[in-house]
Structure 1
Amino acid sequence: MLLITIPLILFLFPLAYSLGPGNMFFAANGARFGFRSTLKANFGYHLATFVVTYLLGIGFGFGTSHAPTLMLALRYLGVLYVAYLAFGMMRAGLANDESQAKHASFIDGIVLLVLNPKAYIIIALMFSQFQPNSTGPQFFIGIGWISIIFTLNNMIAFCFWAAIGDKIAIHFRSKKKAQILNIALGSMLLLVAVWMAVP
């Protein structure tokens, strides 16, 4: 396991920590609601990540990669969902109504992963490079180990970006500045939706 772990982490590190839809989403939520409020969504996202990664690893990826209609549907459902969250955040800023601003939930985290086809592509890319060569039980153990490393690496990256967002928010404590922050972060999430829409 150790022989595959180090190269796998080196492979995943730039993918996990560079700016992407997931990192931007959690940075925005960390800035708006604080680091602790992102933990439920983070757990939901990465519980789904582990399940999806494991399924892709044992062969689900073949069917998904050969189902362009499914991937297209997932892409645009994901775009609509993130855009919905973005408009909710911006509306809270415009209306000055804190009741409209809701932090991402455990379910939001799951939905964000399931409706993010780019996550499937990254997972399929990972397994194209690190598919276990063993057979029988060792194959499933190997897939499980890779899925755990991938999931934990992503979770730490998301926590990192959520913490950065939380620190940024310290400078936006007044009501007027908070409105500006809501609109800016909602716009950021809209950019995430656009990012997800691009093939």
Structure 2
Amino acid sequence: MAFLEPHQEVFQMLQTAAALIVFLFPLAYSPGPGNLFFAANAARFGFAATVPANAGYHLATWFMTAAIGLGFLTVMDQTPQLFAVLKTAGSLYVLSLAWKLVRAGVLSGAQEPQPAGFTDGAVLLVLNPKAYVIIALMFSQFLAQEEDGRLLPVLLITTVFTLNNLLAFTVWALAGGRIAKLFRTSAGARRLNVLFGAVLAAVAVWMLLP
């Protein structure tokens, strides 16, 4: 029954994708650092302004997830110092974004704050090794141990993970964007700068915790 083998493979891939979505749902939609980062940006600048950073984050997510699935995490395990450096750098980077946002809200004559861009989104993912842990956990559950024929399953898991995460971040950004409509005056904008600067600072601390 050789003609059934391709259909069985497709069925197994669909089963893996469905199980993966169930597994990822609480991780993707709970209020984690990434969700709060994009919700805060959308609340301050509106949903449309978050699209470049969201694109950057998830393009980096796809490539980093595929790399981990194909063996990058082995290199990280052999150099734990690199993991610590990335963790600290990512936290400091988000903290710098928070500081810029707060300063824009309290200093007279300060430059108008800018929303996070494509590069900011990509850097947020690359410098957040906690994301690597989640990705490694996901592969440990859904990727078979044998090396042969690993490329296609890795790409499937990578794509499902990235798209599910993109949807979750979009939902959070849309929710944040609705808040922005309540702050149209300059005084309201200043308060929002300080409030969501504080949220981003909390995200930075969260990223730094074990």
- Scaled by the length of structure 2, the TM-score of the pair is 0.91
SS of 1:181's partner is helix
Q: Which residue of structure 2 lines up, in the alignment, with residue 155 of structure 1?
A: 166
Amino acid at match of 1:174: T
Asked if the contact 2:34/2:169 (under 8 Å) is kept, the reply is yes
The reply to whether residue 181 of structure 1 matches residue 192 of structure 2 is yes
With 165-174 and 188-197 compared, the bigger mean Cα shift is at: 165-174
Asked if the contact 1:96/1:179 (under 8 Å) is kept, the reply is no
Asked if the contact 1:38/1:104 (under 8 Å) is kept, the reply is yes
RMSD across aligned positions (CA): 1.3
Q: In the aligned structure 2, how far is the partner of 1:83 from the partner of 1:71?
A: 19
Q: Which residue of structure 2 lines up, in the alignment, with residue 85 of structure 1?
A: 97
2:18 to 6, 21, 24: 6
Which blocks of at least 5 consecutive residues in structure 2 are unaligned?
Answer: 1-12
Cα separation, partners in 2 of 1:96 and 1:182, compared to 1, 3 Å: farther
Q: In the aligned structure 2, how far is the partner of 1:31 from the partner of 1:86?
A: 14
Q: Which residue of structure 2 lines up, in the alignment, with residue 70 of structure 1?
A: 82
Q: In the aligned structure 2, how far is the partner of 1:147 from the partner of 1:132?
A: 14
Asked if the contact 1:31/1:168 (under 8 Å) is kept, the reply is yes
Q: In the aligned structure 1, how far is the partner of 2:164 from the partner of 2:77?
A: 24
SS of 2:114's partner is coil
Shift of 1:100: 3.5
Summarize the alignment of residues 1-199 of structure 1 with structure 2, pairs less than 5 Å apart: 1-95=13-107, 99-133=111-145, 135-136=147-148, 138-199=149-210
Q: In the aligned structure 1, how far is the partner of 2:91 from the partner of 2:16?
A: 34
Which blocks of at least 5 consecutive residues in structure 1 are unaligned?
Answer: none
Cα separation, partners in 2 of 1:134 and 1:3, compared to 1, 3 Å: farther
Q: In the aligned structure 2, how far is the partner of 1:163 from the partner of 1:61?
A: 33
Task: Kindly provide the CA deviation profile for residues 130-172 of structure 1, in whole angstroms up to 9, marking residues without a partner as x.
Answer: 1135653x31011001000000011111111111110011111
Cα separation, partners in 2 of 1:98 and 1:33, compared to 1, 3 Å: farther
Shift of 1:97: 5.0
Amino acid at match of 2:16: I
Q: Larger radius of gyration, structure 1 or 2? A: 2
Q: In the aligned structure 2, how far is the partner of 1:97 from the partner of 1:155?
A: 36
Q: In the aligned structure 2, how far is the partner of 1:135 from the partner of 1:159?
A: 35
Cα separation, partners in 2 of 1:96 and 1:28, compared to 1, 3 Å: farther
With 88-97 and 157-166 compared, the bigger mean Cα shift is at: 88-97
- Scaled by the length of structure 1, the TM-score of the pair is 0.95
Asked if the contact 1:132/1:143 (under 8 Å) is kept, the reply is no
Aligned residues between the structures:
198
Shift of 1:95: 2.3
Q: In the aligned structure 2, how far is the partner of 1:148 from the partner of 1:99?
A: 39
> Which stretches of structure 1, 4 residues or longer, exceed 4 Å deviation after superposition?
none
